[in-house]
A = this chain, B = another copy of it.
Amino acid sequence: MADKRITLADVAERAGLSVSAASLVLNDRPGTRISPAARERVRAAAQELGYRPNLAARTLITSRSATIGVVSDSVTTRPWASDLILGALREAHSRAHILHIAETGTEIATATEALDSLLDRSVDGIIFATSRARELELPDRAIPVPFVMLNATSAAGDASVLPDEFEAGRGIARALAEAGIRERIVVLGRDIGAPHDWVDTLTVSRRTAGIAQTVDEYDMQLSVQLPLSAWEPEPGYEAISELIDGGETFDAIIAMNDRLAFGAYQAMLERGLRVGKDVSVVSFDDDEFAQFVRPGLTTAALPYETMGRLAAELILTGATQPQEHLIPMPIKYRGSIRELG
């Protein structure tokens, strides 16, 4: 297995030219003059020898590495948000780049460490990603390469890619309104209109603001609001169970996320209420299971893959000026809204 690597020198020798000439040809540098015949010989030699440039050598002199660094909190590689990475991966791949992934704990100390680790490797740009959209505290230090916040913002207002939660809020409320459901509506997970004191303000405040606007617009009546501190199936189940067992009746639920909705489904199913017939349910996120529950859950999908793609694209095209890029959250219409017959 002693097949040592082919270097540019090998290619040059076989083509009967200097290393410099070979370099010029293979990089297709404009404005240099090498005869077509020589060009051809170099390319043929490279091809025949199976030449592949040593990226470390190239990086050393150009200080570019065809690599994008990703700093993500510990959960970006977790189920829900892994499409962020996937999107970035694909965009990078299509531009002959690769992803360097560094994990960090939740906060700044390890973020600094991860950042250093990436900079040591001369990455061409950095994506700071979080799994739940929030403001991320960046290391207090100049970052010498372009960077983008992905599903996050920074205090300094750098370039960031976010889901368009506001429009999603509007769209989800409108989906009910246009199905003719304008009253006897339960909001699960949040009190629309309460002040924003939430941890992940970013997502929540915009989502609720969108709902609130549409509720006004269509003069919809929110009969019950159930703020919850954890947006998980269990609290959703508990809250809706209590509500029903307490004698409250309602026509629709706007759940602040799918996981709450799943809990609500279960509570209603156990009590003989049929989703999509007796009660309409709409929600946010498009969790994997939203398409598997019965009936399928109508929900505004987090466009993670698209977001990841855009983040990589912004870096690779150098478009990292401070700006919020809002990505539409497409509404997946499934069977959870009652159709008026």
Contacts and interface: CB of A to CB of B under 8 A. Distances in A.
Contact of A53 (B65, B74, B89, B120): B120
B144 A1 contact: yes
Interface string A121-164: 11000000000000000000010100000000000000000000
What copy number does this chain have within its complex? 2
A128 B3 CA distance: 23
Interface stretch (A20-28, A30-38, A286-294, A320-328): A286-294
Contacts of A269: 266, 269-270
A60 B56 contact: yes
A95 interface: no
Given A77-B77, A79-B79, A79-B82, A116 B259 contact: no
B79 A288 contact: yes
A67 B98 CA distance: 13
A282 B57 CA distance: 55
The 7 closest A-B pairs by CB, nearest first: A56-B59, A233-B292, A79-B79, A82-B82, A56-B60, A77-B86, A55-B120
Interface of A: 1, 3, 52-57, 59-60, 63, 65, 67, 74, 77-80, 82-83, 85-86, 89-90, 93, 96, 98-103, 116-122, 142, 144, 232-234, 237, 259, 262-263, 266, 269-270, 288-289, 292-294
